[in-house]
Structure 1
């Protein structure tokens, strides 16, 4: 005897409810207050956070670690590592507060996430780095750097999602992504003063398949920077400024740096930055290759150096006597297209490539960059092979 439609519907409903029940059972919530965190901004909640992480990590199916929107939680430097038994979500709805004590001004990381597959960091809360207490200890401008803590250090992670999070006043980088695969930043906010030293917004190295979209970055160094081994990165709808722009490099300082390939920046805006889009390599460098780079549909507003390739990079006057670049990094197949706006310096386009490995396949299409002062914007080219298509302002030097 067959089942009627009512019986079938009832069975289907039971199956659906069981599936939902199973899904929610796997997404168990671990509230840091329930394991001892105190939202007063003074009491150390590090142990509670580590406990919640350990319990979620050991739970079959993973879990959600909840930082509730009930106050500010003081957290000292923590290591949160895998492997875990399922997807881990760090739901940050309250504020996480770094220590302002001098003892924690020097160090490698504030939050370090390591060896975790399927990690989500999200929420409307903030990571408050209290960088003003540490910036006086930054000695990089004198040539030797005291290591200050990165706010969120992400290493050896596959399938990483960061959404809606705000990082404020990091002591050093806001986000560092190293050795990761399949990474998405969406609707992330980075906030620090323009004069805050070495506060890169998002730094990427030895990582593949990274997307950064719909984000606002205002900081004291590069909004987004790429180090060795960055591959297949897409940046879309990012506001940068203040800051030092979006930078590939500096590269070539160390032996055996992996190549950089497949970086695309689109539909983004730079406001009041020192640089726009740039590639920089050390003047005397170890060999590697930078290729397949695209900057398309980019607006510049009052940017000092909107377009730049600098293969004679050497900060702090370390090689001030170098007149030409002997960089051994090959830059090739780079497109600058539909880039418009204003330059605060008359020299709006700088393409200074290596004398021993000239840039190849550099393309300028539809560039319209006006100088804010009197006179017209200009460009300079050294050791460059490529092509240009009108309209072009400044006139092409290719």
Structure 2
């Protein structure tokens, strides 16, 4: 693997440092684009981050100008000293080195223990995943190692990422873990429909995460909710193609943390294989997925508009121990290309409880009668119900 670039133009990563008096200085770190495939770029970026992170003043900004910058794995480590958030402004294109052996962790561009961060600028984060997807064996290997996420937040607090374009991540486009109060909005995330495990955003072990006003068109989940995610809101997201919006997979690992407090509202799913999905592994250890509201969701030509699958992958003869409870589906409407619009396959050991359907209006693109199926589920319904609920 690997690529060689023939160009050798010189650009600069700028550090803009502003004092409390409002005076600002810009420091340019020259970087040469050449055959080193990111080695010099990485040094320049780390120098820029170190200066901004340790600047004592109200504003510190790392600015990536227009141009293409090829970089390898970088870790922007905190905590930082500024009195206000560090601003990481990307106007150009950050492009990943296409060599999976060059990455040691879960992320390509990682921010760790940063308290106060704004990532913006209208630029592009290009993971060049098309060069490495062939090495993803997760469909055949249950113990596979995921390729690195384009942007990985670890222990990040009070952060905002907005106005960026993500394309062709090697793995997840964005992974948020062990973090608090992160807002992601006005993002465009794109990868081919057959790209493997290219979730738009994956959220785990994090509290108070908000995703909004974004368009996500990938080969996997638009947004996936992993273990330990609490108080997550997904609002005004357009999704498709891909696998829809998913809670899970849950229960793959021992001693997983609960998922509590999820709101998905005002979203549109277009041509996805699933609409709103909750998935857990059979034979899992005990945990809880509770307090979830899916409201005002439009599905357009979606295969499985509403689905709960508690034997995801069908590889276990033992029931899941993930308890799903207090789930509301309210005002879900649109079209499906499957005669079964609602499919609840809950655990025989811990059946789904208090699953409420209110005003469901789905239409089948075809001649069959639309139906719903349920197993081990306590269902409550009110208002319009099409298809008729399985009670």
Common fold, TM-score beyond 0.5? yes
- Kept in 2, the 8 Å contact 1:348–1:379? The answer is yes
- CA shift for structure 1 position 201: 0.6
Alpha-carbon distance in structure 1 between the residues aligned to 2:291 and 2:26: 44
Alpha-carbon distance in structure 2 between the residues aligned to 1:23 and 1:382: 66
**Alpha-carbon spacing, 1:65–1:105, altered in 2? closer, same or farther (3 Å):** closer
**Alpha-carbon spacing, 1:161–1:344, altered in 2? closer, same or farther (3 Å):** same
Q: Secondary structure at the match of 1:22?
A: coil
Q: Could you report, residue by residue, the CA deviation over 1:56-115 in whole angstroms, capped at 9, with x for unpaired residues? A: 01100351000012x101111111110110221110000001112464478532101101
Unaligned runs of 5+ in 2: 1-17
Match of 1:76 among 29, 49, 72: 72
Alpha-carbon distance in structure 1 between the residues aligned to 2:165 and 2:34: 20
Give the match for residue 272 of structure 2.
273
- Kept in 1, the 8 Å contact 2:64–2:91? The answer is yes
Alpha-carbon distance in structure 2 between the residues aligned to 1:176 and 1:63: 24
Give the match for residue 99 of structure 1.
97
274-283 or 383-392: which moved more?
383-392
Alpha-carbon distance in structure 1 between the residues aligned to 2:157 and 2:114: 7
Q: Could you report, residue by residue, the CA deviation over 1:282-317 in whole angstroms, capped at 9, with x for unpaired residues? A: 11110011111000000000101010111111x2x5
Alpha-carbon distance in structure 1 between the residues aligned to 2:158 and 2:171: 25
Alpha-carbon distance in structure 1 between the residues aligned to 2:191 and 2:175: 16
Match of 1:137 among 135, 138, 156: 135
What pairs with 1:284-323 in structure 2 (closer than 5 Å)? 284-313=283-312, 315=313, 318-319=315-316, 322=317
- Kept in 2, the 8 Å contact 1:29–1:65? The answer is no
Give the match for residue 187 of structure 2.
188
TM-score for the superposition, normalised by structure 2: 0.90
Alpha-carbon distance in structure 2 between the residues aligned to 1:221 and 1:388: 31
- Kept in 2, the 8 Å contact 1:294–1:334? The answer is yes
- CA shift for structure 1 position 160: 0.9
Give the match for residue 233 of structure 2.
234
- Kept in 2, the 8 Å contact 1:102–1:133? The answer is no
Give the match for residue 211 of structure 2.
212
- Kept in 2, the 8 Å contact 1:105–1:133? The answer is no
Alpha-carbon distance in structure 1 between the residues aligned to 2:185 and 2:197: 23
Alpha-carbon distance in structure 2 between the residues aligned to 1:23 and 1:286: 56
**Alpha-carbon spacing, 1:249–1:296, altered in 2? closer, same or farther (3 Å):** same
Give the match for residue 359 of structure 2.
366
Unaligned runs of 5+ in 1: 1-19
Alpha-carbon distance in structure 2 between the residues aligned to 1:377 and 1:23: 67
- CA shift for structure 1 position 373: 1.6
Give the match for residue 55 of structure 2.
59
Q: Secondary structure at the match of 1:221?
A: coil
**Alpha-carbon spacing, 1:74–1:42, altered in 2? closer, same or farther (3 Å):** farther
- Kept in 1, the 8 Å contact 2:276–2:306? The answer is yes
TM-score for the superposition, normalised by structure 1: 0.89
Query: How many aligned residue pairs are there?
Result: 368
Q: Could you report, residue by residue, the CA deviation over 1:133-181 in whole angstroms, capped at 9, with x for unpaired residues? A: 0000001111242431111011001101001011100000000000000
What pairs with 1:242-391 in structure 2 (closer than 5 Å)? 242-313=241-312, 315=313, 318-319=315-316, 322=317, 326-391=319-384
1:36 is the counterpart of 2:30 = yes
Alpha-carbon distance in structure 2 between the residues aligned to 1:67 and 1:229: 34
Pick the structure with more helix per residue: 1
- Kept in 1, the 8 Å contact 2:73–2:103? The answer is no
Give the match for residue 88 of structure 1.
86
- Kept in 2, the 8 Å contact 1:176–1:203? The answer is yes
Alpha-carbon distance in structure 1 between the residues aligned to 2:104 and 2:64: 26
